[in-house]
Chains A and B, each alone.
Chain A
């Protein structure tokens, strides 16, 4: 299948022996000049890159108070070392969160601290060299910005912020990652990550309407660009395109149908994902998100609901208000934005949906918490709602549910291995190895409880698992959308 070895799932998780340089040189394709320029970055490595990089670092240190705090406060206690799925899967010590931070920290000390300027050797400060730059490119693309390490850091150092700064500096000197940067450009020109133009979106949605009609006999609608609809649904474009994502989209439509709430997608803002956050670029994140505000105003909707996408929910929940707000034009009785799980959960609580749980009796389900939902947002009006609500939704539509081991779920959840802009074939080794801790936890509930399916609420997680499950002797269709479970259980037609 590939030219690397899939790590072995053992009886219980082990902290591996380190192998220095195990992943050195592993890196994603570099963005082409046209991808770079579309985002406002230089097309290729600039001649005076050293100077530009240091200037950019200075700029970020001034702009984000968090960055100097994180760079200054590490005491090398080691609590983070065994918390990163990429370290556990690759055994490369530079994938320990502290080591990943140190790649930036040692240069920061050299150019921005008194001790580092005058006594570099005493404080581990080093010059910015070609080698350091290459290490940045390699190891800042072996971090999914999942923030698991920050949960265990006594100082709360967030390695994701360091990775974002690292990537921002790399973009500023002209070497961005092709995967993320090409995709952001497509959002600007076409409206979504896929590059799916409006007519293709309409054709795809019409096909889905036909399929649902064939399956259920009911005219469930999947509308796009309908002015005056109550709800604008912003969902990842993978929901239109890929499996198992599309079955989740079908589920959303059935829920809206039964709730009797008019809704629409937008062909202009046909993407929930916002890779601007992955590359740490506030400007690009804002530009991507602004399309959603424009679409909401243009369509005259009263509510915005976000579909199953992990980092999109972080951007929406944690940043939209200041990024593209205020949302004073929306109906103040509803959360702005609202997560699709929150929406479905409310309907279930009010008894507005008739649910046939037995429709999922052939499945034994577990739930994978997606990192950006788990550690960077919330859901509903209760603490921990982001953990409770998706599980309550699943339990309302499914008789067989078992959680994976504590410490691998909730705020300690392990990343799928493909988040943060790493979901690309050129990083397959990183993705497969990084999935090890999650695969280990899944194996455990499969053996213990006969779990057949793992549900998720993130397009990246779904695609990543569909790809890596077979490496660990599972089958690709064991990953499923939460709203596929819902869609299969919702009884359509007049309420009984």
Chain B
């Protein structure tokens, strides 16, 4: 089912992840979050932007520990833990945040 962003129809997979990574722009994240009933705060964006930077370098989403450490550095040590990330992304930082960031869903036993 495609997702409509700014009048453009973007292809997604069965679970709503973007089919084509290059289709992403910040409005895509906002729209996906809206559809989930979530309003993206600055802290959400810190996570989303980090995921995109990391993906660009390594072609994979960061491991949970890599992510929590990076967020701890940016937002303060009290936020550098998975509990905080789950507060931001209740469906799981690895999956929900990846989706908003336009990354493919992590696969495997995770």
Contacts and interface: CB of A to CB of B under 8 A. Distances in A.
Interface of A: 29, 179, 182-183, 186, 192-197, 199-200, 203-204, 207-208, 211, 236-238, 240-243, 245-246, 273, 309, 423, 425-426, 459-460, 462-463
B109 A423 contact: yes
Nearest to B64: A243
A242 B60 contact: no
11 contacts: A29-B14, A179-B107, A195-B59, A197-B60, A207-B65, A238-B110, A241-B108, A241-B110, A242-B109, A246-B64, A459-B109
Given A242-B63, A246-B63, A426-B15, A197 B58 contact: yes
B107 A183 contact: yes
B59 A197 contact: yes
The 3 A-B pairs of least Cβ separation, nearest first, read: A193-B108, A200-B58, A459-B109
A418 B107 CA distance: 14
Contacts of A238: 108-110
Nearest to A206: B66
Contacts of B62: 200, 204
B30 interface: no
A241 B66 CA distance: 9
B66 A460 contact: no
A462 B64 CA distance: 15
Contacts of A183: 107-108
A29 B15 CA distance: 10
B26 interface: no
A463 B66 contact: no
A240 B109 contact: no
A426 B107 contact: no
Contacts of B59: 195, 197, 200
Range for the number of chain B residues in contact with chain A: 10 to 19
A208 B62 CA distance: 13
A273 B109 contact: yes
B71 interface: no
A459 B109 CA distance: 6
Most interface-central of A179, A204, A208 (chain B CB within 10 A) = A204
Nearest to B55: A200
Nearest to B59: A197
A273 to B, nearest CB: 6
A203 B63 CA distance: 10
Contacts of B94: 241-242
B1 to A, nearest CB: 13
Contacts of A197: 58-60
B82 interface: yes
Contact of A194 (B15, B60, B66, B95): B60
B79 interface: no
Given A192-B108, A204-B65, A246-B65, 5 more contacts: A236-B109, A238-B108, A241-B108, A309-B109, A463-B110
A211 B109 contact: no
A419 to B, nearest CB: 10
B106 interface: yes
Contacts of A204: 62-63, 65-66
B58 A199 contact: yes
A13 B43 CA distance: 45
A302 B60 CA distance: 32
Given A204-B66, A426-B14, A196 B60 contact: yes
B52 interface: no
B100 to A, nearest CB: 16
A236 B64 CA distance: 15
Contacts of B66: 203-204, 207
B31 interface: no
Contacts of A208: 65
Interface string B54-98: 000011101111100100000000000010000000000011000
Nearest to A241: B63
A182 B65 CA distance: 25
Given A207-B65, A246-B63, A246-B65, A194 B110 contact: yes
Contact of B63 (A240, A309, A463): A240
